[in-house]
Amino acid sequence: AQTVTQSQPEMSVQEAETVTLSCTYDTSESDYYLFWYKQPPSRQMILVIRQEAYKQQNATENRFSVNFQKAAKSFSLKISDSQLGDAAMYFCAYRSITGGGNKLTFGTGTQLKVEL
């Protein structure tokens, strides 16, 4: 079974600075999807960014980008020009293509604090 590990329970960043959240995963599959979700205090789970494993190019969505290292099974999220509204819990998630149904397997999350 696939596992997703987020080793940083909490991170802090100054407003306008850059922060990187780490995620590693364990899988024997060669093709899969990876996601980052954001959960602000409102509890809503919001999709931040998505990466297809067969694409070497790192995904980017405005201030959010990933560093996908397939061989290392690493999928970190970089937030540039951090804003107060970025404060939230961030979850990394894995989706198998070939097995495991269609579920997303989530990490335990990283709580991001943004300071003035």
Partner 1 sequence: DSGVTQTPKHLITATGQRVTLRCSPRSGDLSVYWYQQSLDQGLQFLIQYYNGEERAKGNILERFSAQQFPDLHSELNLSSLELGDSALYFCASSVGRGADYGYTFGSGTRLTVV
Find the shortest distance in angstroms from Cβ 106 to partner 1: 4
In angstroms, how far is CA 1 from the centroid of its own chain?
Answer: 19
Find the shortest distance in angstroms from Cβ 104 to partner 1: 6
Which of 27, 82, 105, 110 touches partner 1 (CB under 8 A)? 105
Q: Coil, helix or strand for 102?
A: coil
Which of 19, 21, 35, 87 touches partner 1 (CB under 8 A)? 35
- Residue 31 phi/psi, 5-degree rounding, is -130, 135
64 binds partner 1 (CB under 8 A): no
